[in-house]
Copies of this chain bind each other. A is one copy, B any other.
């Protein structure tokens, strides 16, 4: 057995043992731990900044791209946000142990469901060191043990954050193995993490598509994954065009780089001629490149041609594809063909077409008369978000504390036997 394999098995066994402990911890204990971690960070933010400085220096030496360097950096404001986040998670209701649907059955037994932690959650992420704190706090509150594998470029920052987390766990008498940060960041360590089914119950990769595809491809442990966000807005026949304009602009331009940013606009034939010229003008003023179907280009000459690739693209950039469709049916089939099943929205005043869109569009978030930018755990009221799932099993859409738990059946009898 290789050295790294032995290290990982030890870590896994420790996580499993810690998961029994945190799974039965009281709400008060878990909240105290979260507050203690926040206080540990608040007491010596200079430790985090010093560790982060080492990572930044190494990053500069390696010539990391600016965007990566930005994500890597911890500032006093970002540290304050981490502390605030810990307090917010402590304030959220504890999902663990919640009993629902208790019913008496004809046999006389009572049957219901109890919400329970998943066990051990492995998180694999890239440069942002604040993910260490966010992910650990959500797993802790939901009664799970966590193994965190951050990016190699953030290793000093992650170690410093882990020290605060361990200090907080110790303060309230919890096993420090509840949160373990991988100190060995070799590729082999990840390979082992995603295959040791006896010790890890679920893997959540957070990062670029390459990372997520590699993890999904090689994992034996179930993965909650988030691939593309190719989001659509369809403006229906008879939609309120003023509202449609506002939502279309917001969904595309409020932020270009998020997974719920609009990437493709569909217009009913009947509204295109009236809506498009004004809307296109505003997009172009904001610097958005437009690529459209032939009909679109006949209405607005400044629109470039869209290819088959454009319909499937997640640009994450100031580019938008536009297609004119006959109506709702064509819109739904276009979306179900090209969408990445993340978030799709309709602008309509017709209640039955709204209902059809909600039911028939097979995406994790489906909206009526609202900007796709609302697809977010905080906006949905989950309190926090460990990721957004584009899977169909277990959890779809933003994943909060509830998504880090499942439900077991509980049965209460009084000596009942099966006939």
List chain A positions with a Cβ less than 8 A from chain B.
Answer: 20, 23-24, 97, 103, 105, 107, 109, 111, 114, 116, 118-119, 201-202, 217, 220, 222, 224, 240, 242-244, 246-247, 249-251, 254, 336, 345, 347, 354, 356, 358-360, 362-371, 373-375, 379-381, 391-398, 406-418
Bound CA span A240–B415, Å: 9
Bound CA span A109–B345, Å: 13
Look across to chain B and name the residue whose beta carbon is closest to the beta carbon of A105.
B381
Bound CA span A172–B382, Å: 42
Bound CA span A417–B418, Å: 56
User: Given A246-B417, A358-B410, A374-B418, 20 more contacts at CB 8 Å?
Assistant: A24-B359, A97-B359, A103-B381, A105-B379, A109-B374, A202-B392, A202-B393, A217-B220, A222-B391, A242-B415, A246-B415, A247-B416, A247-B417, A365-B411, A366-B411, A368-B411, A368-B412, A369-B413, A370-B415, A396-B409
Given contacts A393-B118, A407-B396, contact A416 B370 (CB under 8 A): yes
Cβ–Cβ < 8 Å partners of A393 in chain B: 118, 201-202, 222, 224, 393-394, 406
- Flag if A370 contacts B243 (CB, 8 Å): no
Q: Which of B23, B375, B380, B397 contacts A105 (CB 8 A)?
A: B380
Cβ–Cβ < 8 Å partners of A356 in chain B: 24
Sample (6) of A-B pairs whose CB atoms are under 8 Å apart: A105-B379, A116-B362, A243-B415, A367-B410, A368-B411, A374-B411
Bound CA span A411–B410, Å: 33
Bound CA span A336–B379, Å: 38
- Flag if A409 contacts B381 (CB, 8 Å): no
Given contacts A24-B360, A364-B408, A366-B410, contact A109 B379 (CB under 8 A): yes
Look across to chain B and name the residue whose beta carbon is closest to the beta carbon of A248.
B417
Cβ–Cβ < 8 Å partners of A254 in chain B: 417-418
Cβ–Cβ < 8 Å partners of A418 in chain B: 250, 254, 371, 373-374, 379
Closest chain-B Cβ to A404's Cβ sits at a distance in Å of 11
Closest chain-B Cβ to A376's Cβ sits at a distance in Å of 8
Q: Which of B247, B395, B416 contacts A369 (CB 8 A)?
A: B416
- Flag if A408 contacts B366 (CB, 8 Å): yes
Closest chain-B Cβ to A194's Cβ sits at a distance in Å of 14
Q: Which of B363, B364, B370, B417 contacts A109 (CB 8 A)?
A: B370
Closest A-B pairs by Cβ, 3 of them: A243-B415, A370-B413, A250-B417
Cβ–Cβ < 8 Å partners of A359 in chain B: 24, 97, 114, 116
